Structure 1
Amino acid sequence: MHSALLLSVTGTKPKMSATRKILLILGFLSALAAIALITVAVTQNQPLPKNIKYGIVLDAGSSHTNLYVYEWPAEKENDTGVVQQVEVCKVEGPGISGYSQSTEKAGPSLLQCLRQAEEVIPLKQHQETPVYLGATAGMRLLRLENKDAADEVLSSVEKTLRSAPFNFQGARIISGQEEGAYGWITINYLLGNFKQSTENSRLFDPCFHQGYQRTISISDFFKNPCISVEKKQFPFSQLYIEGEGNYEKCRTNIQNLFNKTSCPYSSCSFNGIYLPPLQGDFGAFSAFYFVMNFLNLTSEVPFTLDQVASAIQRFCARPWNEVKLQYHQIKEKYLSEYCFSGAYILSLLKNGYGFTTENWQRIHFLGKIGSSDAGWTLGYMLNLTNMIPAEEPPAPPLSYGSYVGLMVLCSLVLVSVILLAWLLFHKPKCLQKGIV
């Protein structure tokens, strides 16, 4: 009986142990699967590393040598790298032509700047980074005076550059024509004159001056909350804008923004918003004033609606180069938008709010009233002070009666002390005789 019981109990143990093992294995596999999924997801969504290429150019001039490090994204635009300078190092000592008497020192003079380039460029990209040296006027002159010395200087330079961990591409004396041509490329590249765009990305804007150009990133364009809901896919990443300076076309485009087709009230401004009758005078401040003041339309004698429209039209018709030259002290971003801002304000007041030639002069463009700026801040402050509870005016520490009494008492004490002191130091004769 005891043995049977023992057999039945021990017989169940292997089953429980096997179940536990299976559960442990399943749990372990599940954990591995979860870790694998998380690892794959994190790895997949990590930002891709930038594929940057580097290049080195040494400008061996007549007085000194400069080493420049450039970088550009591996994905070129129009088969041309978008190159930018990331480092410059001035080589100590004279230009390489100055080593004509000790040519073996020309190459080693470059070592310090080459080591600086090694620190700037990632180690794994050293071998693929091309390095060039171009010698200009000093070496051209040395070659004319002493060709052997010039060749020995270049040989010394080549030896040093080949020993560097970069991909040496050559060291040579460039002609004056080449120097000028490369300089022309540099200047035009930095000024943006080589930027190209297709016609699906070129936009002619009548509200910018003729000759004005601007490049806008499509991604930045749709960051504006006013148009983010209209986001669409475009086959280009940038929008290239050219100004036309066409005031009438600009006004027409702006007026399309004001929807006046439906009005649920007796009178509407636009977009179905109620517009009360225009009565009394109106103050236009902030951007209204700044724009009209720039256009010289804020004198004490009010301008007519036709005069305002003509002034804005004349300004919009001016070439961008002329405007930029006259108003060079104004930031280009603001200066370029005054044409649009003037046309927009005129459209808003005339077509949106219904001002006409009869009541236009009731609008006063205000920058200051007295010594205070016309704007919302003073009104905001007045509203806040109205909400702060009034307090009792500050009172002196003593009442008027106590103050008078204390002053009289202090005066009497002071007079008594002064009189007693005088008597002690200047005794009258009568007191002196009495003492004797």
Structure 2
Amino acid sequence: MGREELFLTFSFSSGFQESNVKTFCSKNILAILGFSSIIAVIALLAVGLTQNKALPENVKYGIVLDAGSSHTSLYIYKWPAEKENDTGVVHQVEECRVKGPGISKFVQKVNEIGIYLTDCMERAREVIPRSQHQETPVYLGATAGMRLLRMESEELADRVLDVVERSLSNYPFDFQGARIITGQEEGAYGWITINYLLGKFSQVSSNEILRDPCFHPGYKKVVNVSDLYKTPCTKRFEMTLPFQQFEIQGIGNYQQCHQRILELFNTSYCPYSQCAFNGIFLPPLQGDFGAFSAFYFVMKFLNLTSEKVSQEKVTEMMKKFCAQPWEEIKTSYAGVKEKYLSEYCFSGTYILSLLLQGYHFTADSWEHIHFIGKIQGSDAGWTLGYMLNLTNMIPAEQPLSTPLSHSTYVFLMVLFSLVLFTVAIIGLLIFHKPSYFWKDMV
């Protein structure tokens, strides 16, 4: 075989091997790509099905037993775990009436209480999913029958409750205790139930408006609920509301504002012969009275400080002022800050309510009230009295004494007066008769 033939044979062999390698690689790549595609499709289907799978119902359950005087009823409630405004949207899903009388009738047969509650508690097992048994709270509230039993014998009432608690604790629920609720609590909880079911609470999450008679008609202001409880006086009344803000809308009604303010004065209790309010002693109203500081500034703004204005006239003018539209008030008093301007209706009404109903001033004694800003150039307020009181508490020091005694002072004054008189006489003689003076000297 020649060199040319050998070269051709080698070239053909090499090309054939290269072709086989390419074919093998192509098949493997196609297989890998196909397998990857199948895996990707399966994964997409799995993810899609998992993501769109119906979620299990995320709810909570609760059980309340109403142990009344004539019978006991068990109620099962259900609500979404996601609360609205921090309050569970609760629905009743089951009611089971326990056969037999109220639990107070078992005072002489407490060993039967467990059997007495069995049927309804077993019904609760069936209604509530097993997976939620341990996290379902159970409460028992005893009302009139047990209240009467406790009045007769607290020991017997506690004995009945102890057996009830032991019986309910045997079930797989989260028992929270049994207690006797007061008549006031029963009424309050009933009020909550009625207003909740009528949708009154939710109507407050959608319409957070407070119509206030102590502000002028047309006045509006948005208030943060948290701002209501920032002062020490209101902190103890803090409560959770289903909204963060509310809007005040003024209606400008003096009489309604007056009635609201009177609710602040407790006049139902007086341990003395006569009281102002809140059990504070009030002496007879005699003589003249000076009203200063805020009393003066508010009444001065309202142009009611004149002693010639009667109490009836003051009240009538306050009614008219409060009823004026807010836009009209702002125009009439353009130079006054709105924060202060908006509160004069309330402040004036409060002062009148305090003086008339709080301190019991009448139309006649009103004439003895003097609204005072200054007296002899000094502001009528607490600061001067405060200083006077403190200076009275400072120990008095010894008065400063003169350097000389009185007798020494008189003697020296006479002596030097005589010397001065003598010098003056001699001077006059020298001035008028100098020759006579020098002749004598010679």
Task: Give the structure with higher Rg (CA).
Answer: 2
Q: TM-score, normalising length from structure 2?
A: 0.46
